[in-house]
Structure 1
Amino acid sequence: MEATLPQKRTTTPAEKLDDLKRLLEERKAERIVCLDLAEQGFFTESLVVLTANSARHARSLADDIAALCHERSWEFLRAEGYVVGRWILVDLNDIVLNIFLEPVRDLYHLESLWGFVKESTT
């Protein structure tokens, strides 16, 4: 009798986005906006913009995202801006997260650049 290896379950971007949103809400991230870029043929499936209460909170959120990716064997390409913590970009390839402090988010208003894209319903 041949032994069969268990099938590795792949997570869809929508399922991954749901898990990330749940994590972010649990960790008290604010003003979470998810933009669906899948139909646009851009660099990623979803763009997430959120606000942290402090640089320490922003770094903690980035760390929690990295830990979840490691736990679930998701692709984690890089995090930029981690040391300063005012705007941390976390690139998961199919999902890109932007963790802002409130004044920086208000300054750049990143969501307005993607105004033609619908907000994700997941």
Structure 2
Amino acid sequence: MMKSALDWAERIAQVIVDKKGENILLLDLRRISPIADYFILATAQSPLHAQAISDEVVEKLKKDGYPIHHVEGYTQAQWILLDYLDIVVHIFLPEVRTFYGLERLWGDAPRRIFSANSTPQGKL
């Protein structure tokens, strides 16, 4: 059976949880913007951690049959963007995430919060 974009987005969020990403938000942009159906925002604690999260997402999703379209920011690893066309993943260092404030920019988007210690919170 074909997975929906939401199924893939939740899979990506879980991979990030498993790699110890923090403050993971899944934003539903379907009624707000044509850019993508979903954004996933996550915080990494170092450039190496950001690259490890990125590598894990790309590898696991490719293995699951959902290949990446484009990657930006990997070398500097301050803000890594993984573009899956209908899902865009943003992996930030803490200060970069605060500076750009995508959560505020997309404030009216329904959101779901993912963390290691609980089931996802929020309704999409």
The answer to whether structure 1 residue 49 and structure 2 residue 41 are counterparts is: yes
Match of 2:2 among 1, 4, 10: 10
Q: Percent sequence identity over matched residues?
A: 29
TM-score, normalised by the number of residues in structure 1: 0.87
Runs of 5+ in structure 2 lacking a partner? 113-122
**Residue in 1 that maps onto 2:119:** none
Does the 8 Å contact 1:75/1:93 carry over to 2? Answer: no
Q: Which has the larger radius of gyration?
A: 1
**Residue in 2 that maps onto 1:69:** 61
Q: Which has the higher strand share?
A: 2
**CA distance in 2 between partners of 1:67 and 1:13 (Å):** 18
**CA distance in 2 between partners of 1:39 and 1:104 (Å):** 27
Structure 2 SS opposite 1:67: helix
Structure 2 SS opposite 1:38: coil
- Pick which of 64-73 and 94-103 moved more: 64-73
Match of 1:21 among 13, 23, 29: 13
Letter in 1 for 2:97: R
**CA distance in 2 between partners of 1:94 and 1:110 (Å):** 17
What is the Cα deviation at residue 73 of structure 1?
Answer: 1.5
**CA distance in 2 between partners of 1:77 and 1:110 (Å):** 21
**CA distance in 1 between partners of 2:59 and 2:38 (Å):** 20
Match of 1:111 among 103, 106, 110: 103
**Residue in 1 that maps onto 2:76:** 84
Letter in 2 for 1:26: D
CA RMSD of aligned residues (A): 1.3
Which segments of structure 1 move beyond 2 Å, counting only runs of 4 or more?
Answer: none
Does the 8 Å contact 2:36/2:86 carry over to 1? Answer: yes
Does the 8 Å contact 1:37/1:47 carry over to 2? Answer: yes
Match of 1:36 among 10, 16, 28: 28
What is the Cα deviation at residue 102 of structure 1?
Answer: 0.4
What is the Cα deviation at residue 39 of structure 1?
Answer: 2.2
